Every structure is written in structure tokens, then in C-alpha cells.
Amino acid sequence: TISTGSLSLDIALGAGGLPMGRIVEIYGPESSGKTTLTLQVIASAQREGKTCAFIDAEHALDPVYAKKLGVDIDNLLCSQPDTGEQALEICDALSRSGAVDVIVVDSVAALTPKAEIEGEIGDSHMGLAARMMSQAMRKLAGNLKNSNTLLIFINQIRMKIGVMFGNPETTTGGNALKFYASVRLDIRRTGSVKNGDEVVGSETRVKVVKNKIAAPFKQAEFQIMYG
């Protein structure tokens, strides 16, 4: 396993961190600390001498911030793919190569199918992204197991329309990721850490919503400090 950089979360996960050879999904609202958490995972993996890759589909990775979190930017494989297929193809190639230990995809919501990028705005592309994801998951799951690579997907939350009962929140990219993920983490910002009037960090709560390697439904609270 690889430490998440937060002791309480490692304990909540039950195995001392995120499992190798598996798929992990981290989801939450915007600015909840999803990317920060994955960068911490990368930093702790690099400290163990592991090779990491960051597939930046959102084109929003800040190298200065990553460095502050302890990421060795010079030894981080970073790719900014144009289409969702390309991003998943890169994941597949990296996992098959066996040369990479940790792959992070930021984010599932930004994995846009080629047909949608090349089409007109206003065209209907129902279910394209979901189909693309489910094909990729089937392929990736086996390859990751064989090469013992950890694949982390960052995902955003969407609201289901017209849900009267139950939880209206859902994650993007169809259901395949839910099934194939061994661990799913729901991350939320619960408050601010203040120094006087100045906000110096955020209080974060992570729920282990799914866990195939230990008991699920535990939660951890910790602080993410800025800078």
C-alpha cells in the first residue's frame, strides 16, 4: 500500500493506505481537496522510490503547489491528453509497461470522448463517455493487477435531476468506475482553519464509501494547510 499522507485516512482505509494493483476513485465537490490528496499520495510514493504519472485532463496542474506538497516535479511523468480516449490509452500503455507504479487521472469529468470534441456544440452525445469508461475499465483492471500499478481517478459530483428520495448526488462517467474501483473516497471540505482572520487551510473530511481490502464506511478528518 501507499500512504495517503494523512495518518487518520491511512487508518480509516484499514490497510495503511491505498492498495497497489487496484483502481481507486476520489470524488467530491470542487475545492474539496481531491487533487491535493492525490498529490500527497504521489509525494509519498516518490519518497519510497516509486515512479508516478499524472494524466492532467483538466489542464490545471500547478507545479509550484505540487512542489510545496513534496512532489518531485522533475521525476513526475505528466501528460495533457486532448481526448478521453487518448488519456485512457496512455493509462493502459503505462500500466502495461510495468514501469510506472502510480497513475493519477485528473479528472473523469474532463475525459471528453473524441466524437464530442470533434462534433458541434449542441450535438447529443448521450452515454458516450460512460461507454468509453466501461470499455477502458475492463481493459485496465487486468493490466493493473498484473503490473501491480495503482490507478487513481479523481471525479466530480453532479446532481441527478428529479430525484425525490435518496441522494441526488452522482459521479460522472457512468457506473463502470463504481464497480471496478476497489476503494472509493468521498472528500468534503467541512470548514476553514484560521489564524486570526486569515484562512490558512481547510478542515477536510474523507469517507471511505467503498473498500474491498478492509472494512468500509470509516471516516477520517484532517486539515489541509495552504502553502
User: Thinking of the domain 19-191+210-216, which architecture would CATH place it in?
Assistant: 3-Layer(aba) Sandwich (3.40)
Residue 227: pLDDT band with limits 50, 70, 90 = low
Tens digits of residue pLDDT in 192-204? 999 989 998 999 9
CA gap 105, 48 in Å, rounded: 21
Higher pLDDT, 163 or 176: 176
CB 203 within 8 A of CB 188: no
Query: What number is the average pLDDT over the span 10-31?
Result: 95
Neighbour tally for 148: CB within 10 Å: 13
CB 144 within 8 A of CB 95: yes
Tens digits of residue pLDDT in 174-220? 899 999 999 999 999 999 999 989 998 999 999 999 999 999 999 99
Residue whose C-alpha cell reads 461507454 in the numeric block: 131
Query: What number is the average pLDDT over the span 42-61?
Result: 95
The predicted pLDDT at position 182 comes to 96
CA gap 9, 138 in Å, rounded: 28
Q: Spell out the domain ranges in the chain.
A: 19-191+210-216
Tens digits of residue pLDDT in 115-151? 999 988 888 888 899 999 999 999 999 999 999 999 9
Task: Output the CA–CA distances (angstroms, integers) from residue 139 to 131, 133, 145, in the order listed.
Answer: 13, 10, 11
